[in-house]
Structure 1
Amino acid sequence: MPMVRERSGVDKIAPYQAAKSLESIKREYGLSQVIKLAGNENRMGCSARVGEVLNQLNSQFAFYPDPNCTILRERLSTLHHVSSENLIFGNGSFELISLAAHAFLGEGEESVIPDPSFGWYRNVTLQMNGTPVMVPLKDFTIDTGRILEIISERTKIIWICNPNNPTGTILAEDQLNDFINRVPKHVLIVLDEAYIDFTEEPYFNTIDLIKEHKNIILLRTFSKLYGLASFRIGYGIGDKELIERINRVRSPINVNFSAQKAAEVSLDDEAFKNSVLDNNRKGLNLYYTELEKLGFPYIRSNGNFLLIQTGKEPVDNTFLQNGIIVRNAGEFGLDGWIRVSVGTYEENEKVIEVLKTIAERQTGRRKNDYETGI
């Protein structure tokens, strides 16, 4: 029997492969607990105030949410010193990325994507029947020089994840400014800053960029630092005319009530934010110290995750057997690497113990040898 045919371009999109559930992993490996360090989530949870406020407001759950995110819009407008018209809100960064493509990318137009980087950029390009132009990283960092070389008349969007996922590397102020100044004004630059709060290297206030350039939109999220990944809320900052065009393709009610309130409350909890940043800093420093001892190469990170080279031997099952889920970076084209989210200090120590087991298997050295420096 004939089936309804999909729109041209949809056939090029690979079906989404869901990861195993925590429950299925527990059953398969006989575990009572599993530590998930594969999704760059905040292992410290979210502000305790979120639950308190939502419990107080549960009488409003039956009503439609504010389609303009008015209170959150006002808060972020003040925080970032921009007009309310410079802001757009979405059901997480995923939706904002999709909206940018839906508003500006036409059939046959090119979308320039560093590789590896966040996979959704390629997906939304194919959704719009656009052409993904993949540009390999250079020394694990986005190669802005090469991107400038391949810009053509068909180029419509350039996606820059900064800090980049999965590498954790970042474009410095001079390099980013020089790149932006050389990109033609008719090309949209999407500067995805999901991990900007974790940046350890010297950086600058990129919000000033939108005051100078009408072809840039910055994307921010409440999923990482604030630990609100399940609420699905993010926002974009750009020139008001750019934002107005994207708003034309946005669903009128796309951010739910609970997400708006959770975001508002989270902005106020400085103690929680500082504790997350402190934990991330200590976690990364612990990894750097121990990985040097173990001899596993790694990329210093400006995110809440770390890219580690463990060799050709697959190590996923070794981690699973120890109740830990990490991301095999082979799916990013980085065979022999894993991406590990920074967990609590105790969780990070457990990862390091597994890495010691892997190193022992690969080199014949015992775990204690690494601790004594033999």
Structure 2
Amino acid sequence: MKIIDYIKQDIKYLPLYQSGKPSELSMEELKVDFIKLSSNENPFGSSKTISKVLYDSLTNLHVYPDGSCTLLKQTLSKFHNIDYDQIIVGNGSDEIIDFAIQMMVQPGDEVIMANPSFIKYDLTVKKSEGKSVKVSLNDQYNHDLDQMIQKITDKTKVIFICSPNNPTGTLVNNEDLSKFIERVPSHILIVIDGAYYEYVTNLDQLYSINHVIQKDNVLLLRTFSKIYGLASLRVGYGIANKALIAMLDRVRGPFNVNALAQKGAEAALSDQNHVKRSKELNELGKHYLYKQLEEYGFSYIPTEGNFIMIQLDIDSDSVYKRMLANGIIIRSGNKLGMPNWIRVTIGKMDDNEKFISILKQIKGSVEDGGCNESE
């Protein structure tokens, strides 16, 4: 027998998370400069103030990071006007998803989530030998909250609400989410993943942090990977009442967030003008894409994020390949549970224009019979 034969079965057959293709790898493969519109990163980058802060921190790389993220938590506490011990910081909000599942789920327990939604939820549940209960989105491509309530059993331990949802960009508004939370038994943890909340047009539609910290069973996730432009540093945080944060902290490993990530996140919070400008440019790009898609007869899902799902008449993998051949990396809907759809990050205006130009070419090729699913 080999070591591979003794690996847990649920790990051996766990599907791998497939991130967007790196632009550097694509450039090397096809010898083309690439526009990456696949991973919902901020195309305008991070605040210029961060570079100096990180550079000044390089002399201390031999020193362990602050294991409690003290200064970052103090900064977040002031920023959100909440208590220091109502915050937990993770190596990306992904890690806090891990904490929540480790804390709540034993083998055979159930976790409810929308389908499609962020694949991380399902992967984490499977690692803990739990069962993912997937509830299809409604006709508006949003969470079907009534059906999620119907799926609750005595084995349910966690419910994930991704709002805005990845990949559809749809928002569960404050009123609907408040009613939903009141209907969920208090022993079930509700995780609200707000990775894209800064892009939401009307922030009054969001479930407020004050409501979160008053509940015993609600955990709100936020990240610096999206509008703050710090995806490579991997830093996110969770907000909840003090008792829940204390339990999550018991799961958290030592020194889980590196020192550069902590410094970068602190600096990012200090430059809200960058956040405001990034949101404004995202809105301009979004409405440009809306107009172009409507003009050329493409259906899409109105989004509250920095990405758009677009419906096609052909298999999305073939469109992905055509885009890649023309120097644009997008996300195939086949990887997201939505065949015949593609997800595209809203980029800089030049990038958006090139994307539309290639999409029009593909549409013309299909109408002329020159593109098919096997291409």
Range of TM-score over shorter length: over 0.9
Aligned partners of 1:308 and 1:338 also within 8 Å: yes
Q: 1:24 to 1:87 in 2, by over 3 A?
A: closer
**AA of the residue aligned to 1:172:** N
Q: 1:340 to 1:69 in 2, by over 3 A?
A: same
Q: For residues 18 and 178 of structure 1, what CA distance do their matches in structure 2 show?
A: 34
Match of 2:161 in 1: 160
Amino-acid identity (%) = 39
Deviation at 1:24, TM superposition (A): 3.8
Aligned partners of 1:168 and 1:301 also within 8 Å: yes
Please give the per-residue CA displacement for 1:229-275, whole angstroms capped at 9, x wherever unaligned: 00000000001111111111111110111001101111111221122
Q: For residues 17 and 301 of structure 1, what CA distance do their matches in structure 2 show?
A: 23
Which stretch shifts more, 14-23 or 102-111?
A: 14-23
Task: Give structure 2 stretches of 5+ with no counterpart.
Answer: 369-375
Is 1:324 matched with 2:328?
Answer: yes
Deviation at 1:359, TM superposition (A): 2.1
Match of 2:311 in 1: 309
Query: What root-mean-square deviation, in Å, do the aligned CA atoms of Structure 1 and Structure 2 show?
Result: 1.6
Match of 2:343 in 1: 339
Is 1:120 matched with 2:124?
Answer: no
Please give the per-residue CA displacement for 1:173-222, whole angstroms capped at 9, x wherever unaligned: 11111100000000000100000000124514520222331100000000
Aligned partners of 1:88 and 1:247 also within 8 Å: yes
Q: 1:226 to 1:21 in 2, by over 3 A?
A: closer
Match of 1:267 in 2: 269
Aligned partners of 2:116 and 2:137 also within 8 Å: yes
Structure 1 consecutive aligned stretches of length 4 or more whose deviation exceeds 6 Å: none
Match of 1:216 in 2: 218
Aligned partners of 2:220 and 2:239 also within 8 Å: yes
Q: For residues 177 and 8 of structure 1, what CA distance do their matches in structure 2 show?
A: 39
Compute the TM-score of the two structures, normalised by the length of structure 2: 0.93
Q: For residues 51 and 267 of structure 1, what CA distance do their matches in structure 2 show?
A: 14
Please give the per-residue CA displacement for 1:305-332, whole angstroms capped at 9, x wherever unaligned: 0000122242112211210000001122
Aligned partners of 1:8 and 1:129 also within 8 Å: no
Aligned partners of 2:106 and 2:129 also within 8 Å: yes
Match of 1:282 in 2: 284
**AA of the residue aligned to 1:6:** I
Q: For residues 314 and 163 of structure 2, what CA distance do their matches in structure 1 show?
A: 28
Q: For residues 93 and 244 of structure 2, what CA distance do their matches in structure 1 show?
A: 17
Match of 2:89 in 1: 89
Q: For residues 21 and 271 of structure 2, what CA distance do their matches in structure 1 show?
A: 33
Q: 1:156 to 1:86 in 2, by over 3 A?
A: same
User: Aligned with 1:88: secondary structure?
Assistant: strand
Alignment of 1:143-222 (within 5 A): 143-201=144-202, 202-222=204-224
Please give the per-residue CA displacement for 1:87-111, whole angstroms capped at 9, x wherever unaligned: 0000001111111101111111101
Q: 1:214 to 1:198 in 2, by over 3 A?
A: same
Q: For residues 100 and 353 of structure 1, what CA distance do their matches in structure 2 show?
A: 43
Match of 1:104 in 2: 104
Match of 2:64 in 1: 64
Please give the per-residue CA displacement for 1:35-56, whole angstroms capped at 9, x wherever unaligned: 1110011111101111111222
Match of 1:80 in 2: 80
Q: For residues 197 and 263 of structure 2, what CA distance do their matches in structure 1 show?
A: 22
**AA of the residue aligned to 1:358:** I
Deviation at 1:57, TM superposition (A): 2.5
The number of residues matched between the two structures is: 364
Aligned partners of 2:86 and 2:213 also within 8 Å: no
Match of 1:358 in 2: 362
Deviation at 1:284, TM superposition (A): 0.3
Task: Give structure 1 stretches of 5+ with no counterpart.
Answer: 365-374
